Amino acid sequence: MSFPWRSRSEVLISGKYKVSKKIGGGSFGDIYLAINIGTGEEVAVKVESTKARHPQLLYESRVYKMLQGGVGIPHIRWYGYEREYNILVMDLLGPSLEDLFNFCTRQFTIKTVLMLADQMLNRVEFLHCKCFIHRDIKPDNFLMGIGRHCNKLYMIDFGLAKKYRDLRTRAHISYREDKNLTGTARYASINAHLGIEQSRRDDMESLGYVLMYFNRGALPWQGLKAITKKQKYERISEKKMSTPVEVLCKGFPAEFAMFLNYCRGLAFDESPDYMYLRQLFRILFRTMNYQYDYTFDWTILRQRKHHLESAAAADRRSPSLQRRAAPQPQPPPNNEVKSVHATNDSTVNKHTVKGQVSVAQMKKKINAT
């Protein structure tokens, strides 16, 4: 989908946002980079055709409005309608966690996963406090900020979000079955696969799968083949239900299995104990002697790449480069040329808790701290 104007340079939204280039897209429409002509500030513009089969941008803008002011919630600059398009202007953010996972060759350290888990739990708890559930928790819907907010995690894409309780009466929605799967099958809860109405517990279970995706690099139910989408969803559901949590989390700290078992054990209308889950991971973080320094895996990788690029640029500028590149005299045939290979191997000790620890025992441990 593209704007109906002859060129994007003609596109001026709300009289002040000049569209620059397309930076993303999906089934809902496209996302463009735009510049506030008054301040020079860059923003993101989400565009949806009013003729879309299932328009959701107006609804999403209303959800955003109710969430404004929350940490890790993008600020909405403007929503309106122009030339047969629904348009949402919001903060420009950085890459998604899926983008960063790929940038890091699909490998995150436990430290990075735990730092992300802490922020993700905070974002989900805030959303739930506002009486909404997300229903599409996945790496693509969490983005890092830019500039001075580059270490802050943002939650986005509330087109599938739903109120789980009445804002006025605080009454919880009713338990229902025979619902179609809403969200992304890879991270969907087992109850969502079974057609049960989603509630807070389902967001939490999906978050558990996202964390194990980062730990493992892939989930056991990825890559399953099927002829139709329905059959694929059924195969994913079967594999998910037949994979014990302990098998899914094998080789990783026991806290991840405890997290998932806790979330799966929640009742339909039960409020998750967010503090308990946060402390579960924070105690593990301290036990592994990590420092909460916001040094993520991609931070280190970017620094290394920048260092290599700087070194290469310095070599290109160096006058001695030509001398080093000149042919060197060959040693006599009888001389031995020795080569020394320096190694810089490092091992990462993974803290795996042996034995089964109950939720009650862990809560006692947390309360004692």
DSSP, collapsed to helix, strand or coil, labels residue 203 as helix
In terms of Cα–Cα distance, which of 116, 74, 67 is closest to 278? 116
Partners of 48 in beta bridges: 86
Question: In this structure, is the dihedral angle defined by the CA atoms of residues 70, 75, 151 and 56, taken in order, positive or negative?
Answer: positive
Q: What are the residue numbers of the active site?
A: 136
> Phi, psi (5° rounding) for residue 202?
-75, -40
CA dist., res. 274 & res. 124, Å (int): 9
In sequence order, the 6+-apart residues with CB closer than 8 A to the CB of 212 are 219, 248, 249, 252, 256, 260
DSSP, collapsed to helix, strand or coil, labels residue 45 as strand
- 74 in Cβ contact with 154 (< 8 Å): yes
DSSP, collapsed to helix, strand or coil, labels residue 248 as helix
Distances (CA, A) of 153 to 118, 124, 135, 146, 258: 10, 11, 18, 10, 24
Q: Is 163 annotated as a binding residue?
A: no
CA dist., res. 320 & res. 317, Å (int): 9
Known binding positions: 46
Known binding positions for ATP: 46
